[in-house]
Amino acid sequence: MNEFSEIPIYLWVVIICILLTQGCWIFWDASKRGENKWLWGLFGLLNAPSNLIIYLIVTRVILKPNPCKVCSKNIRKSYKYCPYCGEKVG
């Protein structure tokens, strides 16, 4: 246990900054895509970089990006009308 208090403070500061940046970026990206930004943001605070990779895989690869032209939220390809802004897409 003693080894950990010998870890220099600046290292903790760096780790905290990395996690903060990751969390904020994921939060912002999720809000642009219409995802649940609060959950994703907290998720992004937990672990770096694995949680970032998970986020990217889920949003970019598995749920393929298909942004609505008007409000740029992600919508499924089968939709004819955007559920967020009502614009015709299909």
Partner 1 sequence: MSYNHEKIQEKLMDVFYKEGELTKELKSHIDDCSECNSFWRDLNTIEENIPSFDLNIEVDERVIGGAFRKVGILKEKRKNIKDLALFATIASIILGCVGLLANMGYGKSIILVQIFLVIFAPLSIPFMIRQRLVKEES
**50 touches partner 1 (CB under 8 A):** yes
**76 touches partner 1 (CB under 8 A):** yes
Is residue 67 within 8 A of residue 74, CB to CB? The reply is yes
Distance between CA atoms of 36 and 67, rounded to whole angstroms? 16
Task: Please say which residue, 50 or 80, places its beta carbon nearer to partner 1.
Answer: 50
The correct pick among 63, 65, 81, 88 for binding partner 1 (CB under 8 A) is: 63
Q: 25 CB contacts (<8 Å, ≥6 apart)?
A: 44
Distance between CA atoms of 57 and 63, rounded to whole angstroms? 8
Number of residues that bind partner 1 (CB under 8 A): 34
**51 touches partner 1 (CB under 8 A):** yes
Distance between CA atoms of 84 and 18, rounded to whole angstroms? 33
| Residues at the interface with partner 1 (CB under 8 A) | 1, 4-5, 7, 9, 12-13, 16, 19-20, 23-24, 27-28, 31-32, 37-38, 41, 45-47, 50-51, 54, 57-58, 62-63, 70-71, 76, 85, 87
